[in-house]
């Protein structure tokens, strides 16, 4: 059976569809710009110290080389700002998102016209004793697209031998960030120790990730034993590209990192890897290869949630802690969201059938109502009930139309379970059955002249938020 399977994949050219940049590393002389159809990425390896300015200059040099090479996006490792010599220094040097370090990278991205993944910086928090370890994605206009704070913290405490506890000076993150749409594909953000927890990668893959990132500063001992095997495992089980920019070498008298920055394709092959030292390697991201592998080996469809349940993310914190919410093929800005529960969220409509027409959806992007777990069904129903009360009161309705389109033949145009809630008034639609025809057609041709402005939607959402305080 295995030999027949191998012959099948060879006939289907799965292996030949890998990017041409197999084991491509950065030479001392710049290469000519890439002209292939697949987007090119650069993956950097640094050896940061406590000198923030020097670290930035080293990273800037690698980014400039990647831009010359034709990269569309550059990935940088964890601790991109600095690696402190003491715990107190790690906290003392921290900055906010508006600080000098991130502002410098925003200026760099804008100047070079390049997307950047800053794999982790020490973000100042309200806790004076601890910081957040935050991954930041910046677009080619210098705008922050989204952030993710490391959720799994590396704590090693062996009595009378060694104590290395990240939680002593780091606050764990409280949300899973949805994959960010970039020129290289949809990028799912993770950091270092997250690599050992496959559930997070699987959730991001379910949410549409094409690329999983693991910017890291792995120790030499764990790196030699586990680094590559873990990265390849995450790629194989999610059928995503895995991009791992890493710190390398001696940072100070106490700390040394493993390095070996690399890119893994969805088949589990290493297609690019940095040499020792400060370096940048390149790989092409072949989105067609992802689709081909997932079509021919549809492991997501072969899962048995009836036996072991669904994986789902629970984002803690307030609405604005998440910059963008996934709604099928669309991204909903946090300004348009007016209510969020553990498993559901409610948001205003870009093209309402009637004033006050809003949508309620599951946070997990399930396509059909039958795909929801019992917990999601219960949460979604309660969320709909509470939103109904709010919109009926705010828009002075006398009745409500509540509808769900479950599948394309029911008029569903967004492949994500959602409820339509419309506050109704006498004679607002003379023939009441026409409301369902309107729901089936209202968003099929959303032209700029018909859609509401972001400012108008944000204003309505802000008004509705008051009902949930």
Question: Per the annotation, does 104 bind a ligand?
Answer: no
Residue 306: φ, ψ to 5°: -70, -20
In angstroms, the CA 40 to CA 72 distance is: 6
Tokens 């940072």 belong to which residue? 251
Phi and psi torsions of 273, nearest 5°: -155, 135
CA separation, residue 192 to residues 135, 143, 345 (Å): 11, 24, 30
Q: Is 394 annotated as a binding residue?
A: no
- Alpha-carbon distance of 243 to 296, in angstroms, equals 23
HEC string of 439-464?
A: HHHCCCCCCCCCCCCHHHHHHHHHHH
315 labeled binding residue: no
Phi and psi at residue 456, to the nearest 5°: -65, -40
Tell me how far CA of residue 92 lies from CA of 124, 125, 128, 203, 216, in angstroms: 9, 11, 9, 34, 21
Q: Which residues of 393-416 are buried (b: 16+ CB within 10 A; e: fewer)?
A: ebbebeebbeeebeeeeebbebeb
Annotated ligand binding at 322? The verdict is no
| 405 assigned binding-site residue | yes
Tell me: is residue 412 an annotated ligand-binding position.
yes
How many Å apart are CA 365 and CA 349, to the nearest integer? Answer: 18
Q: Please give the helix or strand (H or E) that residue 434 lies within, else none.
A: helix 434-441
On whether 330 is known to bind a ligand per the annotation, the reply is yes
45 is in an annotated binding site: no
Closest-CA residue to 23 (of 231, 186, 265, 214): 265
Phi and psi, residue 310, nearest 5°: -95, 150
Catalytically annotated residues = 418
Binding residue ranges: 330, 349, 405, 411-414, 420
Binding residue ranges for substrate: 330, 349, 405, 411-414, 420
């Amino acid at each position: 059976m295995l030999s027949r399977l191998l012959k099948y994949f060879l006939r289907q050219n799965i292996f030949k569809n890998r990017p041409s940049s197999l084991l491509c590393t950065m030479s001392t002389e710049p290469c000519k710009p890439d002209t292939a159809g697949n987007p090119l990425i650069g993956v950097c390896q640094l050896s940061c110290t406590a000198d923030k300015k020097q670290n930035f200059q080293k990273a800037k040099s690698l980014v400039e080389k990647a831009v010359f090479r034709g990269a569309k996006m550059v990935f940088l490792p964890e601790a991109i700002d600095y690696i402190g010599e003491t715990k107190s220094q790690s906290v003392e040097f921290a900055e906010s998102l508006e600080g000098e370090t991130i502002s410098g990278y925003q200026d760099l991205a804008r100047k070079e016209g390049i997307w950047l993944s800053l794999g982790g910086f020490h973000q100042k928090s309200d806790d004076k004793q601890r910081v957040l370890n935050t991954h930041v994605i910046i677009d080619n206009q210098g705008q922050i697209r989204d952030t993710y704070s490391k959720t799994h913290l590396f704590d090693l405490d062996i009595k009378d031998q060694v104590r290395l506890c990240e939680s002593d000076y780091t606050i764990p993150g409280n949300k899973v960030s949805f994959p960010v749409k970039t020129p290289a594909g949809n990028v799912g953000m993770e950091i270092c120790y997250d690599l050992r927890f496959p559930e997070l990668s699987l959730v991001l893959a379910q949410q549409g990730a094409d690329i999983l990132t693991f910017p890291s500063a792995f120790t030499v001992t764990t790196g030699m034993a586990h680094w590559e095997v873990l990265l390849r495992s995450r790629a194989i089980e999610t059928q995503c590209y895995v991009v791992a920019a890493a710190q390398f070498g001696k940072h100070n008298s106490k700390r040394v990192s493993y390095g070996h920055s690399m890119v893994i394709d969805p088949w589990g092959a290493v297609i690019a890897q940095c040499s020792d030292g400060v370096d940048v390697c390149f790989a092409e991201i072949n989105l067609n290869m992802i689709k081909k592998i997932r079509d021919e080996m549809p492991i997501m469809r072969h899962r048995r949630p009836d036996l072991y349940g669904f994986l789902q993310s629970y984002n803690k914190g307030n609405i604005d802690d998440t910059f963008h919410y996934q709604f099928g093929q669309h991204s909903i800005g946090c300004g348009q969201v007016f209510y969020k529960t553990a498993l559901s969220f409610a948001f205003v409509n870009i093209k309402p059938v009637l004033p006050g027409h809003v949508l309620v959806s599951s946070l997990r992007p399930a396509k059909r109502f039958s795909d929801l777990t019992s917990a999601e069904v219960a949460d979604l129903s309660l969320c709909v009930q509470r939103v109904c009360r709010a919109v009926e009161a705010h828009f002075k309705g006398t009745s409500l139309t509540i509808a769900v389109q479950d599948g394309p033949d029911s008029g569903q145009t967004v492949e994500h379970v959602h409820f339509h809630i419309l506050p109704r008034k006498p004679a607002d639609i003379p023939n009441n059955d026409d409301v369902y025809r309107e729901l089936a057609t209202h968003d099929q041709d959303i032209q700029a002249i018909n859609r509401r402005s972001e400012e108008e939607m944000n204003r309505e959402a802000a008004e509705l938020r008051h009902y949930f305080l």
